[in-house]
Structure 1
């Protein structure tokens, strides 16, 4: 294992200390650990909080700032943060208009954010939580019930963050976040594994001529392995999984202000004539130059399917440590989504 670390047990704390020194516009707390805007709480504004295991940077701490998140809760590498982190973070950022939790669909994240929502509500703070479950590759696994939450999380934090900045109330922010999740689909490809510092060895082993199709952001296995193909072939395969994905129906639990309520949600498939935001993401070890080759083919595939890319994002925004590979996210875009996608944002990991 070759990594820029001191002691394995100090990895996350030392990285956060460096982040705090590099970005005085953020405030980092360590007991329990969370990151907030230095100007938090912003009076009268809905506060957005997300979080998850470290190792996916810049998500989530790098997206704390004006126009995106108000707070983020980092766990240990690839390990969910705890309810007390989420609870203290929510209290620190609540400006009186309530708190929206944006939660990736991983079992630990879901359980801990649900507990935190109950604790926050008991304090008299309005709270809602919206699940992101956009990964078309795997439905149900050792890590999730239902689809995993991946690239659409980044887009939701940008779009809903802008809406909160513009004055949307808590219900409006929750409705928009739910819509972004229903409109977004993702698929990931790994060329190599990654190494969690505490493990000291790769999470899985791929042969020199193998790739893993449909991976998650923690190095979880995908749908299958296959011999490495050209960038055009791998991109076309990943794009087809997203664009041809049928309607997906599932039951989610959302906090209604007093208790948990179950909702049945259905994602509409992409259709000819749709406008989309295209997000081509590096899993951490893939250079941007190669991502542009992916984007080139993705644009071609979308045009052939009758989809028009009207906005794009290319780069490392939701990573898996040093994993080589890429993910594609397509988000159906309407006027509301485009308005807030185009709005200003200023965070360490995303500036517009």
Structure 2
């Protein structure tokens, strides 16, 4: 059960609630085909960043239009990619002549609509690029990495790109940085129920790739960190930023226990931890568990990976 008046009105009311909680901070994009929100205090003369995806996923996406993250966000209806024309209109509203970078997770509808928005903008002589984030390592096991879907690793890439944009990166440089960061981020979903631990369950009902008896939080993260580090290959000894996305039924004390346990697993392997955070950014799982994400940072990425405070979260 969800606490709202109706599913049909929830997303509209949620954006109005964000505006009410942060008076003067945001403007809503006027459209009947989706949902868009942009910041009023965007600094001039730099590349704009838009994050987007399906609606109703917690802080992703409606709370990611934040200083240090994105300049604007667009989302579709529940479980639906945003409309290409809404993405196009949002870009036109916030463009300052330096170009637009779209960041979205790698799912077919999101890919197609972002790609179409880039094409529409090109017809208006507005430069745009997109990066589709594919950090979910177990979503397409056995297939090439480019086929994977995305989880909450996009938050780290958004931070990195926002910092670089502030320093004056042009669109081509920013697009390359986003692609590099995407190649170095890995995430895995961990679900616990009925005494078992499930690895890699999908939020659309895809079955777990692996399951075992749940022993402890420390053992859960020991297994998960080993999986992620093995996927990072040559970058497994680089400084890591660690992010724990809590499932909906995880309380605050549990959240901090999860973060501490995951961080200890990194430190015990003699890997430098360049930052960490925990929160419910992507609330697609109702039960107990989390999504663990690691991003292996080079010197360029470390300059921009520091935690960012958003409305009701730190990422």
TM-score, L = length of structure 1: 0.81
In structure 2, C-alpha distance between the alignment counterparts of 1:218 and 1:166, rounded to whole Å: 38
- What's the offset of the Cα at 1:298? 2.3
2:125 alignment partner in structure 1: 124
In the alignment, is residue 278 of structure 1 matched against residue 277 of structure 2?
A: no
Q: Deviations over 1:100-130 (max 9, x none)?
A: 0112111111111111111111111000111
In structure 2, C-alpha distance between the alignment counterparts of 1:170 and 1:145, rounded to whole Å: 22
1:12 alignment partner in structure 2: 11
In the alignment, is residue 26 of structure 1 matched against residue 12 of structure 2?
A: no
1:209 alignment partner in structure 2: 195
The 3 A distance-change label for structure 1 pair 71 and 286 is: same
Matches within 5 A, 1:88-99: 88-99=89-100
| 3-state SS in 2 of match to 1:160 | helix
In the alignment, is residue 224 of structure 1 matched against residue 210 of structure 2?
A: yes
In structure 1, C-alpha distance between the alignment counterparts of 2:167 and 2:81, rounded to whole Å: 30
The 3 A distance-change label for structure 1 pair 115 and 290 is: same
Q: Extract unaligned runs of 5+ from structure 1.
A: 193-207, 247-267
In structure 2, C-alpha distance between the alignment counterparts of 1:292 and 1:336, rounded to whole Å: 29
In the alignment, is residue 101 of structure 1 matched against residue 65 of structure 2?
A: no
Structure 1 stretches of at least 4 aligned residues deviating more than 6 Å after TM superposition = none
Matches within 5 A, 1:259-270: 268-270=233-235
In structure 2, C-alpha distance between the alignment counterparts of 1:168 and 1:315, rounded to whole Å: 29
RMSD: 2.4
TM-score, L = length of structure 2: 0.89
Q: Deviations over 1:65-89 (max 9, x none)?
A: 2221111111112221111111111
1:348 alignment partner in structure 2: 311
In structure 2, C-alpha distance between the alignment counterparts of 1:22 and 1:294, rounded to whole Å: 29
Kindly indicate whether the alpha-carbon contact (under 8 Å) linking 1:84 and 1:116 is maintained by their aligned counterparts in 2.
Answer: yes
In structure 1, C-alpha distance between the alignment counterparts of 2:180 and 2:146, rounded to whole Å: 20
In structure 2, C-alpha distance between the alignment counterparts of 1:288 and 1:137, rounded to whole Å: 27
1:313 alignment partner in structure 2: 277
Matches within 5 A, 1:241-252: 241-245=227-231
- What's the offset of the Cα at 1:297? 2.9
Kindly indicate whether the alpha-carbon contact (under 8 Å) linking 1:190 and 1:213 is maintained by their aligned counterparts in 2.
Answer: yes
In structure 2, C-alpha distance between the alignment counterparts of 1:242 and 1:35, rounded to whole Å: 34
1:262 alignment partner in structure 2: none
The 3 A distance-change label for structure 1 pair 298 and 56 is: same
| 3-state SS in 1 of match to 2:265 | helix
In structure 2, C-alpha distance between the alignment counterparts of 1:38 and 1:218, rounded to whole Å: 35
The 3 A distance-change label for structure 1 pair 70 and 220 is: farther
Structure with greater helix percent: 2
| 3-state SS in 2 of match to 1:281 | strand
In structure 2, C-alpha distance between the alignment counterparts of 1:135 and 1:286, rounded to whole Å: 21
In structure 2, C-alpha distance between the alignment counterparts of 1:182 and 1:109, rounded to whole Å: 19
